[in-house]
Amino acid sequence: MTKEFKHIGKATQKFDGKERVSGKAVYGHDLELPGMLYAAILRTRYPCAEILSINTSKAKALEGVECVLTAEDADVHNISYKRDHPILKKGRVNCIRDEIVAVAARSKEIAEEAIRLIEVEYRVKKGVYDPFEALLDTAPIINEFGKGLESFDNKNIAEAFHYEHGDLEAEKARSKVIVKKRYELPRVTHACMATSNITADYSPLTGRLTLWASTQVPFLYLRDMAHALKMAPSNIRVVQPVIGGGFGSKLDMLPFEPICALLAIKTAKPVQLLYSREEEFLASPTRQPMVIDLTTGADEQGKFTFRAVEIIMDNGAYTSWGATTPFVMMQTFSSLYQVPACRFDARAVYTNNPFAGSFRGYGNPQATFALESNIDLMAEALGMDKAEIRLLNANYPGEITGQGLHYNTCGAIPALKAVVEKGRYHAIAHAPKEGRYKRGIGLASMLHVGGGAKIYRSDGCGTTLKLDDYGYLTIITGSNEIGQGSETVLAMIAMEELGIEQDKIKIINTDTDVKPWDVGVHASRTSFVAGNSLLGAISLLKEKLNKKAAELLHIEGPDFVYENGMIRVDAHEIKIDKVVRDIHFMPPHQLCEVSFFYEPSSEFQDKQFKGDVSGSYAFASQAIEVEVDTLTGAVRVLEVHVSQDVGRVLNPLGLQGQIEGGVATGIGYALTEEMIYEDGLLKNPSFHGYKLLTANDMPKVHFYPIETNDGAGPYGAKGASEAPLIPTSAAIANAVANAIGVRFYSLPLTAEKVLFALVQKSVGTPRRCATLSEHAQIEKQKGHGF
């Protein structure tokens, strides 16, 4: 049964776009409140040191300074889910982000001047910047606050995950090929175009704290803030200004936020804190850097047999949500393609580097890079076609994976086939590689949650609807718009179901005192969860309207059609606002308001991490063609073919934007982006040193959506917005290997790195062979095998 839709599936302009493109939208940086003060933070000069003394007397004496805050003045709890992160540091500093003193002053200039006047005496210590070093017995304890750390077998482990299914040893034994490789993934950052910001206001009269905060998870944030400040959560109101980019960076509450709140509490005045771009690079989240040791096997036919995974993550000095990325990575290792056996171990290790955070894809780009590289290597070892080995092992509808994920619908095979065919994979892969510019093509697939992820006690979303006497609909949704286009999708659903025009729809979604609960923007869940929630609320609203309409039209229980502001059946029709007014003004006098809370049917996973954690699953493949300049090492991405199981396309314009934006971030991860840390110090904290792609670097992106119409999603839709960047770096690395015959096990593939490898390959090959055999001789003499 395919219903004809008027709005769903039609390209629809961004609902809130006019405000944004005209400068009307109020971002955190644009807020001004009467009597507002400006905050600044003094951070440590050294990544690892003891603090011997802090002298704030000159700052306090500066005209215009209203508050100077150190750890001594702050009665607060540690933050982070491990509670291992003091918001202001005393006694010692552990990474280059560490906050020591905060100031609120009457102008930005005075606040900055006050920071310059603060004297801190340090005793510099040798830090630990390599997680493997931190695991040695000789390493010092880096963080002593963490909850539950005693359960781990090493003092510097902050978090650990173990997962397994199947008989690994038996599968190993029957494997024809086994490939074991180490992959190293860099630290990259979100680089949201709007820097981090917060404005806080506090009234001592009511004890209420209002925070204009750019969080993606306002209700969890409110709870974390309350814990940090030792306040009742309900005395905190979070209002989200327009957010200039999230991508996961606004999942963790960072120290600057409770610091700003404290300054507002202490001064009883509004206080604003805006990050500079340098501060943004230095002290906002990053993707979790890690080393992945991956062993995979396949049998003679090329069927996958097992995967054994060991991951060491650089946790940094404190724990962020980044430490829980193994939760997503283990899904990829256990359930992307059919895998009879899997063992997965991941450990997050404290170092004196900065902590990471969550970033679009949540560990999945790292996992997929390793896995899809290994798959190419196994195909090569077996002499198999790289598309064929993937198709042979691809996931299928009805599959229940070793981890217990239920693939009720699954577009993995059609997605793979689409990119292989449209990307002309075989023709390009097998074309001769000659001349200076060598072209190659690579494949990679991915699996991600498509129907939320039950990682908190509720993964739900509430919706309240108000249909007013004039036929205008207000949607009060728990979900948030952070630029991704969720407001547009919600408006489209309301237009579709209620026949109300877009200019009669208002969306309220920024105020925790008003909106119903929602877990937040993460896990590509908003269209799915908020969409289902809205549909639930609409059906309640329609119950009311239908009943009254039937009464007014003197007909019995018919199926009404909602169209053009009318409620209609056959030749009978009545204006929707007329029905609302009759409900309102005639006995028994009711308002046309309803509330609905949607909770996905997904399960909480058990202690072994088994269970059907999402309402549905998204699958995607990419085929990417690259050109390598063998003279300079520069890799240029020429064409990106993306095919993705999105369940159903709700807004093609918005979806395509998510695909292109995701791919761009994926290309940056593959080729240019890296935060360069040396001994805990960031060497490139600017757009000059940290290379984002520009308009000139973007290839063509071709998108082939696969519509599997999953029963769990709104109109069959699945989450879609993290997927497009997940397989990109893997496909690019595979393409580069195809082009030049050199494989890379770390990112990014900078021109320098590629050139170095090319030079080694050409001049180094004969010598390297000699060295290898020499090496074998030596090993033999020492009694080692090879």
| Shortest distance, position 634 Cβ to another protein, whole Å | 16
* Residue 776 contact among ligand FES, another protein, none, beta carbon within 5 to 8 Å by kind: none
Decide if residue 653 touches another protein (CB under 8 A): yes
* Binding segment (CB under 8 A) for another protein, from list 236-244, 331-339, 536-544, 753-761: 236-244
Q: Which is nearer to another protein, 451 or 485 (CB)?
A: 485
Could you tell me whether strands 700-706 and 635-645 are parallel, antiparallel, or unpaired per DSSP bridges? Answer: parallel
CA distances from 597 to 204, 356, 574, 630, 724 (A): 34, 33, 29, 57, 29
- Interior CA angle at 541 toward 535 and 544, to 5°? 150
Rank residues 414 and 483 by Cβ distance to ligand FES and give the closer one: 483
| Shortest reach from residue 217's CB to another protein, in Å | 17
Cα distances from 264 to residues 37, 104, 759, in angstroms, run 9, 8, 59
Q: Of the candidates 55, 301, 590, 686, which one interacts with another protein according to CB under 8 A?
A: 686
Query: How many C-alpha atoms does 443 have within 13 Å on its Cβ side?
Result: 29
482 binds, among ligand FES, another protein, none (CB under 5 to 8 A by kind): another protein
Which part of the chain contacts another protein (CB under 8 A), choosing from 269-277, 333-341, 369-377, 502-510? 269-277
SS3 for 647-701, per residue?
CCCCCHHHHHHHHHHHHHHHHHHHHCCCCCEECCEECCCCCCCCCCCCHHHCCEE
d(CA 149, CA 290): 20
Q: Is 17 an interacting residue with respect to another protein (CB under 8 A)?
A: yes
Binding site for ligand FES (CB under 6 A): 193, 245, 483
Binding mask of the shown chain, residues 177 to 206, with x at each position contacting another protein by CB under 8 A: -------------xxxxxx-----------
Cβ 636 to another protein, closest distance in Å?
A: 13
Minimal distance, residue 359 CB to ligand FES, in Å: 16
By beta carbon distance, the residue nearest ligand FES is 193
Structural tokens at position 530: 């908020």
17 binds, among another protein, ligand FES, none (CB under 5 to 8 A by kind): another protein
Distance (Å, whole) CA 155 – CA 749 = 34
Please pick, from the candidates 483, 516, 531, 536, the single residue that binds another protein as defined by CB under 8 A.
Answer: 483
**653-684 burial by CB neighbour count: b if 16+ within 10 A, else e?**
ebbbbbbbbbbbbbbbbbbbbbbebeebbbee
Query: Residues 158, 242, 447, 500: which binds another protein (CB under 8 A)?
Result: 242
Does residue 204 have a cis peptide bond before it, meaning omega lies within 30 degrees of 0? no
Nearest to 680 by CA among 247, 368, 353: 353
Q: Which is nearer to another protein, 193 or 268 (CB)?
A: 193
Which residue type is seen at 88? L
Q: Residue 154 binds which one of ligand FES, another protein, none, with CB within 5 to 8 A depending on kind?
A: none
Considering the rule CB under 8 A, would residue 13 count as an interface residue with another protein?
yes
- List C-alpha distances in Å: 541 to 84, 468, 527, 544, 601: 46, 12, 20, 5, 23
Other beta carbons less than 10 A from residue 436's beta carbon: 10
The contacts of residue 340 (CB under 8 Å, 6+ apart) are 166, 167, 171, 304, 305, 306, 402
Measured from the CB of residue 197, what is the shortest distance to another protein in angstroms?
10
Q: How many residues form the binding site for another protein (CB under 8 A)?
A: 56
Tell me how far, at minimum, the Cβ of 693 lies from ligand FES, in Å: 12
H or E element in which residue 391 lies: helix 386-393
Site for another protein in 693-712 (CB under 8 A): 693-696, 698, 701
Can you give 482-519 as a three-state secondary structure string?
A: CCCCHHHHHHHHHHHHHCCCHHHEEEECCECCCCCCEC
Bridge partners of residue 85, in order along the sequence: 79
Nearer to ligand FES, 368 or 484 (CB): 484
527: closest CA among 766, 729, 719? 719
**Closest by Cα among 500, 488, 497, 587 to 540:** 497
Contact between 34 and another protein per CB under 8 A: no
The three-state secondary structure class of 330 is helix
Of the two residues 32 and 150, which places its CB atom closer to another protein in the complex? 32
| Residue 586 near another protein by CB under 8 A | no
Closest distance to another protein from the beta carbon of 681 (Å): 19
Q: How far apart are CA 330 and CA 616, in angstroms?
A: 17
The minimum distance between CB 634 and ligand FES, in angstroms, equals 25
Taking CB under 8 A as the binding criterion, the range among 6-14, 144-152, 299-307, 343-351 that sits at the site for another protein is 6-14
Least Cβ distance, residue 651 to another protein (angstroms): 9
CA atoms within 13 A on the CB side of 33: 19
- Contact between 109 and another protein (CB under 8 A)? no
Quick one: what does residue 693 bind among another protein, ligand FES, none, with the CB cut-off 5 to 8 Å set by partner type? another protein
Q: CA distances (Å), 516 to each of 204, 217, 248, 570, in order? A: 26, 13, 22, 37
**Residue 193 or 555: which CB sits closer to ligand FES?**
193
Return the one option of another protein, ligand FES, none that residue 27 interacts with (CB less than 5 to 8 A, by type): another protein
Task: Please check whether residue 648 is in contact with residue 707, taking contact to mean a CB–CB distance below 8 angstroms.
Answer: yes
Task: CB nearer to ligand FES: give 24 or 768.
Answer: 24
Using the minimum distance from each CB to ligand FES, give the nearer residue, 22 or 206: 22
**C-beta of 19: minimal distance to another protein in Å?**
8
Contact residues: another protein, CB under 8 A:
11, 13-14, 17-27, 29-30, 32, 190-195, 242-247, 274, 276-277, 482-485, 653-654, 656-657, 660-665, 686-688, 692-696, 698, 701
